[in-house]
Amino acid sequence: MRLEKCWFCSSTVYPGHGIQFVRNDAKIFHFCRSKCHKNFKMKRNPRKVKWTKAYRRLHGKDMTQDSTFEFERKRNRPERYDRNLAENTLKAIKKIDKIRSDRASGHIKNRLKTGKVQRQKEARKQLELGIHLVKAPLALAQDSSLCLPKIKVNVSQTQTEENQPMEE
Amino acid sequence: MRTVLKVVDNSGAKKVMCIQALKGKKGARLGDTIIASVKEAMPNGKVKKGKVVYGVVVLAAMQRGRCDGSEVKFDDNAVVLVDKQGQPIGTRVFGPVPHELRQKKHVKILTLAEHIA
């Protein structure tokens, strides 16, 4: 039994699932489900199809280089069965999986950080402009405690430098 | 019946047309033997055009279920010509062959094959 990777979307194909297509040059393509198989038949390039792992890795959306990937390399030599080895491997798989997924989500979080800062800035500006929709101007003038506090947004140096040419 | 299959060995024939599927009411599948008529042949080969031969289906575009639950399919339909005993007529087999042949006891074809899928 071997867990293959779908050729199109790179998800694991478990036993009992999917179709294996053998081309005449003896290259074998594994597909996890008919969606991937049909896309393959349409001759679509997985590197251009947004939802595949190939696209995400190519465009830097997902983590590409990490030491945890080394554990998952394909090994062609069958190991002699050893109960201790099997037990330790199962424990290790769980741990490595957790580490890898934590690192991957960290990578995505980092990637989305700059967008968050941008959105906060825009939201603050919008609130300042449209404060009359939130609270009547008269009420604001009368009671200064209702004034919105200044939101401090930490903007990194590189960002401000980038914005300069646009403001020209 | 009437299916034209490619011949992937060097027995001389190029295309054969199935005239009977031995075993199976619904037709022959991957690994089954068929009786075929040679429709196209190389000029000097062991088999000539019009000859009635036996063949073992080695590539089928229809998916065949494996015992682990997965399914395999190949690019086109192809056959290896054999004699009545099941020994291949040719001396070489081109392209991939499925390992379903091992269960059907076509060991000789497997040994001649380049690649077992």
pLDDT digits (tens, 9 = 90+) for A118-130: 999 999 999 888 8
Q: Give the domain CATH number at B20.
A: 2.40.150.20
A17 contacts chain B (CB < 8 A)? yes
Residue that wins the pLDDT comparison between A69 and A6: A6
- At the second CATH level, the architecture of A1-60 is Roll (2.30)
A36 contacts chain B (CB < 8 A)? no
- % of chain A exceeding 90 in pLDDT: 60
Whether the pLDDT of residue A59 is over 60: the answer is: yes
CA-based nearest residue in chain B for residue A25:
B95
Q: What distance in Å separates the CA atoms of residue B37 and residue B17, rounded to the nearest whole number? A: 5
A21 contacts chain B (CB < 8 A)? yes
Whether the pLDDT of residue A68 is over 90: the answer is: no
Testing the interface with A: which of B71, B94, B99 to mutate, by most A Cβ within 10 A?
Answer: B71
Q: What residue ranges do the domains of chain A occupy?
A: 1-60, 63-72+82-132
In this complex, the residue of A13, A15, A24 whose CB is nearest that of residue B95 is A24
Q: For A2-11, A151-160, B29-38, B104-113, which range has the lowest pLDDT when averaged over its residues? A: A151-160
Q: Are B74 and A19 within 8 A, CB to CB? A: no
Within 8 A of B96 by CB-CB distance, chain A residues are 22, 24, 26
pLDDT at A166: 55
In this complex, the residue of B63, B70, B76 whose CB is nearest that of residue A15 is B70
3-state secondary structure string across B36-61: EEEEEECCCCCCCCCCEEEEEEEECC
In this complex, the residue of A20, A24, A25 whose CB is nearest that of residue B70 is A20
Both tokens assigned to A13 = 């194909």
A33 contacts chain B (CB < 8 A)? no
pLDDT at A168: 53
Within 8 A of B114 by CB-CB distance, chain A residues are 26
Within 8 A of B74 by CB-CB distance, chain A residues are 21-24
Chain-wide mean pLDDT for chain A? 86
pLDDT at A57: 92
Q: What distance in Å separates the CA atoms of residue A106 and residue A101, rounded to the nearest whole number? A: 8
> Which residues, 6 or more positions from B104, have their beta carbon under 8 angstroms from its beta carbon?
B31, B32, B56
A23 contacts chain B (CB < 8 A)? yes
pLDDT at B9: 92
Tell me the pLDDT band of A164, cut-offs 50, 70 and 90: low
pLDDT at B67: 87
Neighbour tally for A118: CB within 10 Å: 13
Global ipTM = 0.89
Number of domains within chain B: 1
pLDDT of A81-107, one tens digit each? 999 999 999 999 999 999 999 999 999
Domain that holds residue B84: 3-116
Both tokens assigned to A57 = 């890795």
Going from the C-alpha of A24 to that of each of A27, A28, A168, B18, B78, the distances in angstroms are 7, 9, 60, 21, 10
A19 contacts chain B (CB < 8 A)? yes
**Tens of pLDDT along chain B (117 residues)?**
689 999 999 999 999 999 999 988 888 999 999 999 999 999 988 999 999 999 999 999 999 998 888 899 999 999 999 999 989 999 999 999 998 999 988 999 999 998 888
Q: What is the pTM of this model?
A: 0.78
pLDDT at A141: 72
pLDDT at A147: 60
